[in-house]
């Protein structure tokens, strides 16, 4: 099993996310828009990595979370998203990519007035995610979600 642990390997995760995000013919027919909750679909999974497609309506957000034992990258395919990694908030446009290693905690949200779509790649495949609340004294872990819950 190849696990993407080095910086060059994380660059491959980012390039996978970017190339898929910039090729809508491969995924546009799958996208669903839901105002009730963020829509997502796993496009691929093997022993090395997995790929997810997500849509975001205005105001939808992940809340602060990590990716357990996985490294990853996500690319904006359509629309704009904003990422808050507890140090800086950054706006991301189509083609923009964020790659991250272990212990990366962030909140991703659609603060625009239009839908957005993003592609996410994780290695190894996600097994769990921890959710956090941001308080005046810092982050507090509030939940642990296991892959079988998705």
Closest CA to 134 of 83, 63, 68, 81: 63
One-character DSSP codes across 97-137: EEEE-TT--BEEE--SSS-EEEEEEEESPP-EEEEEEEETT
| Tokens standing for residue 120 | 């996410």
Conformational region of residue 59, where left means phi above 0, alpha means psi within -120 to 50, and beta covers everything else: left
Q: Specify binding-site residues for Fe cation.
A: 65, 67, 106
Question: What's residue 107's pLDDT?
Answer: 98
Between β-strands 128-135 and 138-146, what pairing exists: parallel, antiparallel or unpaired?
Answer: antiparallel
Question: What's residue 100's pLDDT?
Answer: 95
Report the share of the chain in percent with pLDDT over 70. 95
- Model pTM score: 0.92
Q: Specify binding-site residues.
A: 65, 67, 106
Average pLDDT over residues 73-100: 97
> Which residues make Cβ contacts (< 8 Å) with residue 46, sequence separation at least 6?
125
pLDDT band at 10 (very low <50, low <70, confident <90, very high): confident
Between β-strands 81-84 and 138-146, what pairing exists: parallel, antiparallel or unpaired?
Answer: unpaired
- pLDDT at residue 4 is higher than 70: no
Q: C-alpha 113: how far from its chain's center?
A: 20
CB 71 within 8 A of CB 100: yes
**What are the pLDDT digits (tens) for 23-69?**
999 999 999 999 999 999 999 999 999 999 999 999 999 999 999 99
What domains lie within the chain, and their CATH numbers? 7-149 (2.60.120.10)
């Amino acid at each position: 099993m190849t696990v993407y642990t080095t910086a060059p390997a994380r660059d491959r995760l980012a390039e996978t996310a970017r190339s898929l995000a910039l090729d809508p013919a491969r995924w546009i027919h799958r996208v669903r828009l839901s105002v009730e909750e963020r829509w997502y679909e796993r496009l691929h999974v093997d022993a090395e990595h997995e790929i997810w497609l997500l849509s975001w309506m205005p105001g939808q957000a992940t809340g602060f979370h990590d990716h357990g034992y996985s490294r990853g990258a996500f690319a904006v395919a359509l629309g704009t998203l904003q990422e808050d990694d507890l140090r800086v908030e950054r706006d991301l446009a189509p083609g923009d990519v964020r790659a991250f290693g272990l212990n990366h905690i962030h909140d991703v949200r659609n603060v625009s007035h239009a839908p957005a779509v993003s592609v996410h790649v994780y290695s190894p495949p996600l097994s769990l995610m921890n959710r956090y609340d941001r308080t005046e004294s810092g982050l507090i872990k509030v939940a642990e979600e296991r892959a079988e819950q998705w």
